A = this chain, B = another copy of it.
Amino acid sequence: MTNILFIMCDQLRHDYLSCGGHPHLKTPNIDALAARGVRFDRAYVQSPVCGPSRMSYYTGRYVASHGAIWNFVPLRVGERTMGDYLRPLGLRTALVGKTHMAADEATMALYGIAKDSVEGVHLAECGFEPYDRDDGIYPPGFTEKGKKTGYYRYLRDKGYDTDNPWHDFANAAERQGGGTASGWYLANAPLAVRLPAEETETPYMTRRAMDFMAEAGDRPWCLHLSYIKPHWPLMAPAPYNAMYGPEHVVPAVRDGAEKQAPHPVYAEFQSHPESLNFSQDKVRETAIPTYMGLVKQIDDSLGELFAFMEEKGLMQDTMIVFCSDHGDYLGDHWLGEKELFHECAVRVPMIVVDPSPEADGARGSVSHALVEAVDLLPTFIEFAGGTPPDHVLEGRSLLPLLRGPAGRVPAGWRDMAVSEFDYSFRRFARETLGRDVDECGTTMLRTERWKYVYCDGFRPMLFDLAADPDELNDLGGDPDHGPVCASFQARLFLWMRQRRRHVTISRADIAAWTDKAMGYGIRIGFWSEDETVRGRPDETSTP
C-alpha cells in the first residue's frame, strides 16, 4: 500500500508554526509531523497567489508552462494533473476542499467531452475525484456556487438555513446589540463566529478526509486535503478567536525606507486597502490574533486526523505532505495579502513524511535545499512506483533528500528557485502604470544570496539576502548592482529557453529517433544505393 496525504492550507506563512519559529503560536501536531519527516525551510511556490500556485502544484509545471496566470484562469485542456499520473499507478486520487480550479469548458465542449463523464469530471476538477470540492470563499456573487457544496448541505441539515450559511454562520458573528458582524471586515476579527468550533470549515474538512480514508478500503489513495484557512475572511470560532491577543503579534518586518522611491509595482500594492490597513498596528493587533487562532484550529484538527490514521494503521504506508499555496504579508513591508515576492509571501511551510524505512535517516531534520512546489508531483510519482516524465514535469523528486543523509543536498540540485507573478488583472496596471495586459509579468529568481525580480518594462527588484535578510533594501535601481542584475536576467533567459514544451514526446524518444528513421527506410539525399551501405545517414560519409 502506498497512500499519499497531501495537506495544503491557504495563505499560511512559513513562520506561523512553532516549528517554523513562531514564538507564541504552538502547533504541536504539525511539529510532530516535522519530527517524523523532513521540514524544508527553503520551499517556494511557483506564484504567490492561489490560482496559479495551485495549478503549478497540481501540474508540476511553472506558470510560464501551464498558462493559468492568475486566479479564475481556466487550466487548459491538455495540461496533465496529479490524478492523471497517479491513477495509472493504482492510486485513487481524490479531493476534499479547495483547488481553485476553473474548467476549460470551451475546449471541453469543442472536443465533445461530456461534463458528466468520468473524464469530464476529472478535467473539470483538475484531475481529482471531487470527494468534497469546496473553494471556501462565498461572497454574495458566489452564493449559488456555495449551495453546491457539501458544507452548505451540512450546515442546512443542522438548521443553519439561510441563502449563504457559510457567511452567516461560519464567517460572521453576532453584533453586540443584534445584527451580523461580517468576517469580511477586519474590525470584526476578534468576534467569535456563530458556529461552535466543531461545525466550522476546518473540522468539517478533516471529518470528510476521515470519511474518505475509512471508505477507501484496501485500494491505495492520494488525498488532497485542502483547507481554506487561514485565508480570509479572518474570523474564528470560540475559543480560537480569543486564544491570542496583541501581545502575541510578532512585530511587522518593515522600514520607512521601503516607502522612499519604491519600485512602481510595489508602490501600487502599497496603496491597496489591505496594505494601508495592515500597515496600521491597530489592524494588525486586531486581525493577526484571529489568523493565529485559525492556524491553531488547523493544528488541533490535524491532531485528530493523525490520531485517526494511527488507529487505522495508515501511518506506516502513507506519505504525508503539509504545505501552503502561498503566504501572507500581514503588514510586513507595508503590505497586506500576497502577490509580491518577499519571503513572507512566496516561501511556504513544507513538511514531507516519507514512511519508507529508507527515510529513517533523515527523520526530524531540516533541509535548506531550495525546494519548489513543482517538486511534489515527481515525488509522489516516484513514491508510488512510477517514473516522472521529465519532458513534462519541471520539478524534481524530493526522494533523494528524504532518503539520503539528513541535510544532504544531492549533487546538481538547483541553486535557484523561480516564481512568477502577473498583475495584469489589476486595474492599476492599465490606469496608473499604463501597461498592456501582456506586459505585466514579473519573475523571481532566488538563490542562496540574492532575490532578483524581473519586471516587464521596469527596472528589476534586487535584495541581498546576506546583508539584508529582511528584504528592506531594494537594490534593483542601484547602478553598482547592475552587473548582478544583468547576470540574473541572463539566467532568466536561459530558464525561459528550458521550459518543457514538447510535452507529447519524451526525451528518450527524441534521442532514439535517428535509428528509428533508418529503420523505416527513409533515405535523404543519397546518390545511390551504394551509399546506404557505406554508413549511417547522419555521419560523415566522405571516405
What is the interface residue range for chain A against chain B? 35 or more
Chain B residues contacting A502 (CB-CB under 8 Å) are 67-69, 73
A537 touches B272 (CB 8 A): yes
Chain B nearest CB, measured from A275 CB (Å): 7
Copies in the complex: 2
User: In the complex, A118 Cα to B113 Cα: how many Å?
Assistant: 12
Interface stretch (choices A136-144, A218-226, A236-244) = A136-144
Cross-interface CB contact of A67 among B106, B119, B278, B503, cutoff 8 Å: B503
Query: Does residue A411 face the partner (Cβ distance < 8 Å to B)?
Result: no
Most buried by B among A73, A273, A428: A273
Closest chain B residue to A186, Cβ basis: B527
Chain B residues contacting A497 (CB-CB under 8 Å) are 441, 456, 496
User: In the complex, A531 Cα to B511 Cα: how many Å?
Assistant: 61
A501 touches B119 (CB 8 A): no
Query: Does residue A195 face the partner (Cβ distance < 8 Å to B)?
Result: no
B524 touches A273 (CB 8 A): yes
B139 touches A184 (CB 8 A): no
B185 touches A529 (CB 8 A): yes
B426 touches A139 (CB 8 A): no
Within 8 A of B (CB), among A106-146: 106-107, 110-113, 117-119, 123, 137, 139-142
Cross-interface CB contact of A123 among B67, B111, B187, cutoff 8 Å: B111
Chain B nearest CB, measured from A143 CB (Å): 9
Say yes or no: A67-B504 contact (C-beta < 8 A), given A428-B538, A489-B493, A526-B185.
yes
The 7 closest A-B pairs by CB, nearest first: A274-B525, A141-B520, A78-B78, A139-B521, A140-B521, A74-B504, A67-B501
18 intermolecular pairs with C-beta atoms under 8 Å apart = A67-B502, A67-B503, A69-B501, A73-B502, A78-B79, A80-B110, A112-B119, A113-B113, A184-B523, A185-B527, A232-B524, A271-B542, A274-B526, A278-B525, A424-B510, A427-B538, A496-B496, A496-B497
